[in-house]
Chains A and B, each alone.
Chain A
Amino acid sequence: MNLAVRDVRHNLARFSLTTVGIGMLLMIVMGMGGIYRGLIEDAVLLVNRIDADLWIVQHGTRGPFAEISRIPRSLEDRLLVVPGVQSARAFVSHTVQREHGGKPLRMVVNGLSWPQDDGSWLPLVAGRPLEAAHYEMIADKLLGLQLGETLELGKDVYRVVGLTQGMIGQGGDGLAFFTVPDALAIQFDSSAEAIRLERFARKARAVKDDIGKMQPMLMDKAELPSRELPAVPRAMISAVVVKAAPGRDPLEIAELISGWKDVSVHTSDEQKELLLKGTVDRARRQIGLFTALLVLISAIIMALIIYTLTLDKTRDIAMLKLMGARDSVILSLILQQAVLLGGLGYVLAYYFGQWIFPHFPRRVIIMHEDLLRLGMIVIAISVLSSLLGIWKAMKIQPNEVLS
């Protein structure tokens, strides 16, 4: 005869409420794990999607995600002629926060090397890749933009021609894709007044400088737009991503490029590792500690619940002992209830989570291995938390029936 189940059935309302409470607690534990997974997934999503073999960045830097990296765009052409390189694309990425429709709009602006790269590798859910050199953009659904909607960024207006889903930057902001020149224009957008002031400043510098006196022509040109000044360096990009030709070892190419003194090379895996170590590491430890605390709190709460359930049954347990029931009968009554409580709480946690997590602002990813691990933790908690109740039950004397 199973005593645990019969007791639960008899105290169904109380047991159900307790289980719901435990379920919610476990849901939070589950959610913390999911938030952590989401954080990692979001952080490496772009690197994964770009699916490059090598990342070429400014010499001595850790790449475009960890810190600022500036390299000339001409590097793209230098890399294309390296043996074994199938493709080399400019990578431009920066986050902007602008106003749109009266609300702040945060997005990660990415540049595509149009026309070689029109963004057809993106997970488009609506619209099309980029078809023009300027003023088109592909936006992630998270940004809340509609197909065909126009958006003013800097001095230009861009039209949304394609929509992606699930393209999120490491900060949790949606990604938007433009051609490289457009992306740079958005990044280096200055007001007309700022440009005017810079031209005057430039002229003033030229007047004071030797070079201005030796080359009077320069004086005339100082007031021209930057791009018409031959001496001004070309626009800088963040990185160049390289894909090796089929059958070629990316590491061999990396070896070769690492001989260049002006750039550093990272493989895709290194890039991901840098990302995780740098930006996500603290968050991971924070979440890990918080989760550990939650597990501890769950264990304490469960222990108290099991203990109270046992206290409520003091008389019955005394009677069982008086009737000569073995300790195993009493032990399994308590243990089974604890495991039942934990197990049902776990199942509830899962369904609560399925229902609530999709509404979270950032991704909560519940992995099978995490579910499995939490399941084992729940069993461990159940067993540990029943120890207090079992200890109490073992101390109950049969003659307590008489009191």
Chain B
Amino acid sequence: MTAASPAIEATGLTKVYGSGNTEVTAMRDVTLTIGKGEVVALLGPSGAGKSTLLTAIGLINPPTSGSIVIGGLPVMEGPEALVDVRGFRRRHIGYVFQKANLIPFLTALENVQLASEINDVPPREARSRALELLDYLGVGDRVKNLPHMLSGGQQQRVAVARALANSPSIVLADEPTAALDSVRGRQVMELFGKVAHEQGAGVLVVTHDHRALDVFDEILEMEDGTLRPPVRTTTHTEGSK
């Protein structure tokens, strides 16, 4: 992965679900670039294809055609994976969803630690990294709690910590604040900004929350499976590039 190349380069991404009568084109010829240290919002009505785009870039749901390059490395060419996708996800991609999706039988600390451990980080090291992250995210006092003992906001922050456990080169978040109140929601969004700017990751966040848009360097909008031209680019982005 070269330092100069962007975090994410997607070219001509198209996704067709089903076939024949039930055929749905969820995403049509989407091209986008997200630089390192850049945090980008993705807006759009329900059914616009935002999740489809995010899961395609996240190597969860292969596109029908188009290519994806992450950190300069071509990873998908149409539906064909050019790398070991699971290993790639493990090492380079962090995910956050609307629901925290924490493993219910693991404590906050263990949930974060596990992400590093499955990436072959020694347990001791994984643990101290997890503690550090949870502390940084303001849930350092709840590390021994199981997920069901945490509030929605706390759970989501643990999920963010988990996504960041392996210092990923890209972070993908799909409506991460939908279940949070506006204050908590804003905190999480600011966190993504911090991660992008401090760790140099490329961050793509799908959101409906218009109140926290000032956090983002760039705002994209999707409709009917296609991407509209950028709405706003802040000076912040130029500064960090």
Using CB atoms and an 8 Å cutoff, list the residues of chain A in contact with chain B. 1, 3, 6-7, 9-11, 315-316, 319-326, 329, 398-399, 401-402
Residues in chain B near residue A325, CB distance under 8 A: 86, 90, 118
Q: Looking across the interface, which residue of chain A has its beta carbon closest to that of B159?
A: A319
Quote the shortest CB–CB distance from B13 to chain A (angstroms).
16
Interface flags, B149-191, vs A, CB<8A=1, else 0: 0000000000000100000000000100000000000000000
B145 an interface residue at 8 Å Cβ cutoff? no
Contact partner, A324, options B91, B101, B123, Cβ 8 Å: B91
Residues in chain A near residue B88, CB distance under 8 A: 324
Q: Looking across the interface, which residue of chain A has its beta carbon closest to that of B88?
A: A324
Residues in chain A near residue B118, CB distance under 8 A: 320, 323-326, 329
Which 10 pairs, one residue from A and one from B, show the smallest C-beta to C-beta distance? A324-B90, A10-B105, A324-B89, A325-B118, A7-B105, A399-B60, A324-B86, A316-B103, A6-B105, A319-B101
Contact A319 B174 (CB under 8 A): no
Q: A6-B110, A399-B60 are in contact. Are A322 and B89 (CB under 8 A)?
A: yes
Quote the shortest CB–CB distance from A370 to chain B (angstroms).
36
Separation of A323 and B166 alpha carbons in the complex (Å): 10
Separation of A329 and B106 alpha carbons in the complex (Å): 15
Separation of A320 and B115 alpha carbons in the complex (Å): 9
Residues in chain A near residue B46, CB distance under 8 A: none
Classify chain B: how many residues form its interface, as a range.
20 to 34
Separation of A6 and B106 alpha carbons in the complex (Å): 7
Using CB atoms and an 8 Å cutoff, list the residues of chain B in contact with chain A. 51, 55, 60-61, 86-91, 93, 95, 97, 101, 103-106, 110, 113-115, 117-119, 123, 146, 162, 174
Q: A10-B146, A323-B95 are in contact. Are A1 and B117 (CB under 8 A)?
A: yes
Quote the shortest CB–CB distance from A309 to chain B (angstroms).
12
Contact partner, A323, options B51, B89, B104, B106, Cβ 8 Å: B89
Contact A319 B105 (CB under 8 A): no
Separation of A319 and B88 alpha carbons in the complex (Å): 15
Residues in chain A near residue B105, CB distance under 8 A: 3, 6-7, 9-11, 316
* 9 A-B pairs in the complex with CB atoms less than 8 angstroms apart: A1-B106, A6-B106, A7-B105, A319-B103, A323-B90, A323-B118, A323-B162, A325-B118, A329-B118
Separation of A320 and B89 alpha carbons in the complex (Å): 11
Contact A1 B113 (CB under 8 A): yes
Residues in chain B near residue A323, CB distance under 8 A: 89-90, 95, 114-115, 118, 162
Separation of A321 and B90 alpha carbons in the complex (Å): 9
Separation of A5 and B94 alpha carbons in the complex (Å): 26
Residues in chain B near residue A11, CB distance under 8 A: 105
Contact partner, A322, options B60, B110, B117, Cβ 8 Å: B60
